[in-house]
Structure 1
Amino acid sequence: MAPIIVLGTFGILSQASGGRAPLSYLVALVAMFLTALSYAHMCRAYPVSGSSYTYVSKAIDPRLGFLTGWSILLDYLFLPMAIWLIGAAYLHSVIRTVPQSVWLPGFIVISSAINIIGLKLAAKLNVTLLVLQCLVMIAFGALCVHYVLGDPTKPLFTLTPFGSNGASLPLVMTGAGIACYSYLGFDAVSTLTEETKDPQRTVPKAILLVTLIGGGIFVAMSYIVQVAHPSTSFVDADSAANEIAKNIGGDVFVMLFLIGMVVGQFASGIAAQASASRLLFALGRDSVFPKRIFAYLSPRFQTPVFTILLTAAFALLALKMDVTTSTSFINFGAFLTFTLVNLSVIFHYRLRLGTRGMKSTVMHALLPVLGIASTIALMLSLDRNAVMLGLSWLAIGVVYLGYLTRFFRVPPPELHMSNGVH
């Protein structure tokens, strides 16, 4: 959950929601918080690091758990691609003579080289780049406030971005589906369960706090930017924050913002590729994929070179995509996973343990059902191509599961999802 992503996707979110970006972030926060509650319940029930895969496998069925892990794989394969695509779009918006088709491979090559060398280098870079992007984001927000205060036609406090003058529900839901991309990562807290003191108390609290704090940042920042730029018209929606940065701070701030935006995407891309490559490595180690290839480690660097290069090659698909489509692909896998985690709460607490009473009815039945309804509604608001690809990916997973289980006659292989992997 990189804070600066709220600026990176502001243009496409503002257009998709009809100028109601804060309202879309708020709707997304409600849906994500309901799912975060379900993660908290399941973390108490199964304090292990497998996260959603483990919860669905144990509470419902191992085969459905396998398909949960398969859905997560779609997230991890598309996440580095979307991150690098956003960074390339911003660089191209400033240096028009260099096409995105040049910037994108540059991101991929440099990030892959860093990940092949090892996580220590990546970790050191990430800390530095995270601090830099946060400083740039704070400056962006302050300049937005200064810009609005200097324009008497723009009130600083208005409910228009939240739909006070009427808002189209389909547009807001479409925007919320895109906004959820910014929240993805709150669930990863559950992967640290086995390394946390008193995990059944600490991890659920952390999951809820991460969701609420992240949501607060996204709603507040998108509100400030939406007030400063209430129009949904941009030269290029994929890099709209550059245009706004020029209006509020001039050419010098545009360059400072671009540096913060690019390094933010660069840092996130390194982390996302590291996670994706290690998920593929884990699947190879557990013989879900060919072990000789996917579980290979470089003798020199002790890193999964093949899976790093595979994620890099997969990211080249971004040359034929835009930001909206690539983030929609990621969200489809996330929404499917979140739906199953909400369902696992009902199966574990109500059906298996037989808990009853008003509190259990609300916490283990009503709220999970609302979580399921909200994630399905968000899924239906996604780009049609994303839904079709997601369903196709799921169908491939069913066929592959049939192959691994000899047409469902033996249990599926057990996946050992380690730290940094859902």
Structure 2
Amino acid sequence: MASDRVPPPYTEVTRHGMFPAPRHDEAARFNFLANLNKSLAMTLGAGNRLAYERRVLPAFIAEHGRAPKDRFEVRRAMNRDPYHRFWSALKRNAMEMRQQNGRSLVLRQAHELAARAEALNRGKPTLELDPSVATPRYQAAVDIHCMPGSYHGELFPGDVSAGANYDCGIFATTGGALGALSDGGGQAVVRWVRENRPGWNPRRILDIGCTIGHNALPLAQAFPDAEVVAIDTAAPSLRYGHARAQAMGVLNIRFIQMNAEDLSRFPDCHFDWVQTTMFLHELSGKALPRIIGEAARVLAPDGLMLHIEQPAYTDAMPVFEQFLRDWDAFNNNEPFWSAMHALDLPAIMDRAGLPKERQFIARVKAVVDRSIFPEAPTGDGEDHGRAAVWDAYGAWKPAAAARQAA
């Protein structure tokens, strides 16, 4: 039984048929890192606000005769404060340690995992890999989340280590807040849909930027008669994700290697539901509107578009909170995080043919077994940018859009 401040032990993580087997010390390191991350968010994280209010803000006002005007001025001022520098260094090192522990765990069994994936994937039409799909420059330029090789790194033909590293280590990053299968985000979306459109049975669902399918499999499980298509540009992640789905017995989902900037293989109005989960912040300023435009084109009349993200930066959000939410952009290899959260996403969706009167913003929280996994932190204890609580930017496509497209 986990308390509200202590993550569950790594023994509670579900070890499905593709999950890499941890040794005692590897599991212990993940336990340490899960607790360190939670402490950084809920205990030590609160010191940033104290440092700002008691030292940084008064000094800034004394020097400039005014308060900081934006998150960038707050960041430059806070980066000179010793407490914030200490906290930030701990946070960065925690992520690097998480990645290295997962990587070493996976690499010692990389060929075994690849063979297991090959056995599960062989001859299955539900996995489509395309070597001609290039990794976009905006994703290849950095190791996202400090993950060596990012999601696309491939050490040998058939390698699945990138997907396996992501799967086994997300527990430590989130402190267990996404549940035993790290699918609390997908479960949250299913709950939201059932509450807001009871009885709806979509025929085709498209999940863009699926990585290994954490958030797509719950949709396939909840709607077993639907065809779920999960796309990504990263072959190693797709290999692992498809094998993971096969091992879990989720068979109504297809994994396809594809760049969502071009969905031309799908006709207009093909999907009843198109979604992304914590993916838009991985996109460049040019790619994001193209992907939303293509997603809107393939969405059926009265269909659902849903983008799960952290809250947008608006005038209503204090500049100090914006600064905290920006941490990953400058310290965790998330180069588009800051710019994306300052975009007018409703306006982009409107230009794609999803008018503002058909749009909505909802609040969703990870759905997990609360007898084991803790409630997502909120308020001053929130790990800004990583908490298992999201804003859902959505729209129901108007029926008239089909006539206009024709």
Which structure: greater strand fraction?
2
Fold conserved between structures, TM > 0.5: no
Quick one: higher RCO (CA 8 Å, sep 6+), 1 or 2? 1
Q: TM-score, normalised by structure 1?
A: 0.26
Which structure: greater helix fraction?
1
Q: TM-score, normalised by structure 2?
A: 0.27
